Structure formats: structure tokens, C-alpha cells
């Protein structure tokens, strides 16, 4: 491809820090110096009570399910338009995902539909911040408080995006972040659990350490550690953390460049939206700022999107559709249920097309992508 969909970034000292972890620190397993530095960076810069690095965002979501004490038959409200990990984490505990429709403007869960989906078995609400754009968190938190529910922010795509000047992932009881190579800030694989409700911190450390109180032992709080709760091995390698810390050091530069590319796409494609050819992702609003994670357009229908993908591919441009709604998938039908009709989810999932967007993308490349889209519609 002349213009790939994504291109992983080396931002600075990634390889130096990996060498330092191996040669100087002599530490490759989890919870070394770079893990500590990365966690502290996230806590300080996001204003988060506690951060624990994990080997993936999936792992962080699985920890949330255990921390929420999900039992077989418990229900968890979430959008169907999300990655499978959002549901899988709870299905593994015997939970039932309850799928709610999305808003047509942000493709986030429609907060107006949440309350009607609540039953006596509901334990939690998962707010997925699609494309790094915030859900309406004030309303979601209000609903959760009214019904004594836990709020989990799936902020996999939303590191350093904000809602009313608060970073996404730090508003609910928990937030989960992804550092997969397709995200803005990367470590190949990797994730983080943000704990905003301090009542969960001690148990989260135990769950992350295979159900042992090993962290308390290393802090000198107990004379030996043992198995005290359920858990698993959710720690990332120190090599992963070393790579990540170099990225975090350059995060503002990375996010700023991606936001510039996002804005250029918006400016160049806005005339096509105004003329009715397609819909485009929105700019920041008064109380929402996004991190430039992805820029999408919305075609007229599935056939048009398929033809546009083929047209771009022939021109050496890789573009991609996104999620197949979970409620339409075999596992979604088996393990979950829907709350009302999901007509917007079903409609937009067949029309969304993500355009190439990565740190090294040049203005000329953006112009090339837009030019080919213009050619297609002409």
C-alpha cells in the first residue's frame, strides 16, 4: 500500500529503554522500574487515583468484571457497536451483556436508552468512548448512582481525550486503556486499568497478582504472601512497559500531530458533507475534545462503502470498516440479549469507513486520500 491504514511509531527512546531494562536493570518480568514510571505518569497526567498496567485492555476489562463481582446471570449494559472484549470480559464470569443502541452523531451508547434496559439483575454500565469521543458521562453517572450500578469506561481508544475538562477513563469507577499498536500511544500489546474508586485498589492489586497479596509483601506490609482471592497473571513484561514509557514521554507531541491530521481531513471533506455526498466525523465541541484516534466517513449504504473501499485499494490506499455489531454475531446471540431495537447500530455499522490516520502521515497523503474520495463520488 502507498498509504497504509496504520503505521506503528517509534517516537524516541523506546529501544534505549528496552536495552536499559535488560542490561542495566536486569529485569524483564512485570512490575519493574518502567512499569512503575508508566503507572506514575498516567496517575499524574490523568489525575487518576491508581493505575495498574496490564498486558492488554482486554485484561483490564476482565479485572473490572472480577472487581464488580459479576456472577452468572448478572447483567451488564453496553453498546453492541464495540470490540468483542467489552462483552467477553463479563461473559467469562457468567454475565449477560445487554446491548443498547447507539447515538447517530457520536456512535456512542445512547444514554437516553440505558434506564429502560436496567433490571433487578443489572450490575454495571460500560460506556465505550468510540473513536476517542466521550459518551455523555454526566447522565450515565447520574443513572448509575440512582440504581447503585458500577460505571466502567472502555476508553481503549480515548487516552487523553476529555469530557468537560476531565480525562476519559477517570470519570467512572474504572477506566480501561489500550496500548495496542493500532492506538495512538502504543507498546505493541498492552493496556491499563484506571481505578477511580479507591475502595477497589487493594483488591485490584491482588487480582492482578494471580490472587495473591504479593504487592503487600514487597511493600513490607506482611511477612509472607499467599493466595487470598481469585485472580490471574495480568502483568505486562517490563520490555512492554519500557517501550510504553518512551511513548508516554512523547504523548502530547503524538496526540497533537494526529489531531492536526484529523482536522485536515475534516476541513477537506466538509464540502462533500455539505453537498450531501457523505457524512464525516465531527469536530470537538464545547465540552468534548478527542485525541485524533481515527477519522471516519459514513457512506450512503453498504454497497457504496464496499465500492469505495475497492476504489481506494486500487489507488494504493488502505481504508477499513469497523465492528460487526455484537448482537448480530453468533456469540452475541448466545451469551447476550438486546434491550429494544438496535436500528441505528445496524444501519451505521454497514456504512462507517475509517480512513488512514497515523503519526507519520503527511499532508500530501491526506490530500491524496481526499482526492480519491472526491473522484469516487464524481
Give yes or no for residue 282 having a pLDDT over 90.
no
Give yes or no for residue 284 having a pLDDT over 80.
no
Supply 311's cell numbers.
Answer: 476504489
pTM of the model as a whole: 0.96
pLDDT in tens, 287-311: 889 999 999 999 999 999 999 999 9
Report all structural domains of the chain as residue ranges with CATH numbers, in order of start: 14-249 (3.40.640.10), 251-377 (3.90.1150.10)
Give yes or no for residue 23 having a pLDDT over 90.
yes
Give yes or no for residue 96 having a pLDDT over 90.
yes
Specify the pLDDT at position 287: 83
Specify the pLDDT at position 239: 97
Contacting residues for 175 by C-beta, under 8 A, at least 6 apart: 48, 152, 153, 155, 168, 169, 193, 194, 196
DSSP 236-291: PPHHHHHHHHHHHHTHHHHHHHHHHHHHHHHHHHHHHHHTTS-EEPPPP-SSEE--
Specify the pLDDT at position 218: 84
Answer whether 79's CB lies under 8 Å from 345's CB.
yes
pLDDT band at 75 (very low <50, low <70, confident <90, very high): very high
pLDDT band at 223 (very low <50, low <70, confident <90, very high): confident
Specify the pLDDT at position 62: 98
Specify the pLDDT at position 283: 81
Long-range interactions of 205-214: CB distance < 8 A, separation 24+: 205/52, 206/231, 207/63, 207/66, 207/67, 207/231, 207/232, 207/234, 208/52, 208/54, 208/63, 208/234, 208/235, 209/235
Candidates 276, 61, 270; CA nearest to 176 is: 61
Specify the pLDDT at position 256: 96
- DSSP run (H or E) holding 166: strand 166-167
pLDDT band at 188 (very low <50, low <70, confident <90, very high): very high
Amino acid at each position: 500500500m502507498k498509504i497504509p491504514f496504520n503505521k506503528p511509531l517509534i517516537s524516541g527512546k523506546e529501544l534505549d529503554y528496552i536495552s536499559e531494562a535488560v542490561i542495566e536493570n536486569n529485569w524483564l518480568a512485570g512490575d519493574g522500574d518502567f512499569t512503575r514510571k508508566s503507572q506514575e505518569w498516567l496517575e499524574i497526567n490523568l489525575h487518576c487515583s491508581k493505575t495498574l498496567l496490564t498486558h492488554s485492555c482486554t485484561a483490564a476489562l476482565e479485572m473490572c468484571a472480577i472487581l464488580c463481582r459479576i456472577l452468572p446471570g448478572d447483567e451488564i449494559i453496553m453498546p453492541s457497536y464495540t470490540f468483542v472484549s467489552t462483552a467477553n470480559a463479563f461473559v467469562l464470569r457468567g454475565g449477560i451483556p445487554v446491548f443498547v443502541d447507539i447515538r447517530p452523531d457520536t456512535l456512542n451508547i445512547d444514554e437516553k436508552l440505558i434506564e429502560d434496559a436496567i433490571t433487578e439483575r443489572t450490575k454495571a454500565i460500560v460506556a465505550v468512548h468510540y473513536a476517542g469521543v466521550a459518551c455523555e458521562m454526566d447522565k450515565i453517572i447520574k443513572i448509575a448512582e440512582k440504581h447503585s450500578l458500577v460505571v466502567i469506561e472502555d476508553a481503549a481508544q480515548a487516552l487523553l481525550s476529555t469530557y468537560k475538562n476531565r480525562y476519559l477513563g477517570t470519570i467512572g469507577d474504572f477506566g480501561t486503556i489500550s496500548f495496542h499498536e493500532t492506538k495512538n500511544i502504543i507498546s505493541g500489546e498492552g493496556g491499563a486499568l484506571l481505578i477511580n474508586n479507591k475502595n477497589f485498589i487493594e483488591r485490584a492489586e491482588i487480582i492482578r497478582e494471580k490472587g495473591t497479596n504479593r504487592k503487600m509483601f514487597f511493600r513490607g506490609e506482611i511477612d509472607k504472601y499467599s493466595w487470598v482471592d481469585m485472580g490471574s497473571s495480568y502483568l505486562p513484561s517490563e520490555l512492554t512497559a519500557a517501550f510504553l514509557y518512551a511513548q508516554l514521554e512523547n504523548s502530547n507531541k503524538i496526540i497533537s500531530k494526529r489531531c492536526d491530521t484529523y482536522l485536515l481531513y475534516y476541513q477537506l471533506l466538509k464540502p462533500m458533507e455539505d453537498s450531501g455526498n457523505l457524512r464525516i466525523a465531527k469536530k470537538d465541541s464545547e465540552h468534548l475534545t478527542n485525541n485524533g484516534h481515527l477519522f471516519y466517513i459514513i457512506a450512503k449504504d453498504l454497497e457504496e462503502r464496499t465500492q469505495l473501499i475497492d476504489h481506494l485499494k486500487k489507488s494504493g490506499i488502505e481504508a477499513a470498516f469497523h465492528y460487526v455489531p455484537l448482537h448480530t454475531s453468533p456469540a452475541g446471540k448466545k451469551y447476550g440479549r438486546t434491550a429494544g431495537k438496535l436500528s441505528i447500530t445496524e444501519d451505521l455499522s454497514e456504512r462507517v469507513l475509517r480512513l488512514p490516520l497515523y503519526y507519520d502521515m503527511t499532508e500530501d497523503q491526506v490530500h491524496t486520500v481526499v482526492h480519491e474520495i472526491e473522484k469516487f463520488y464524481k
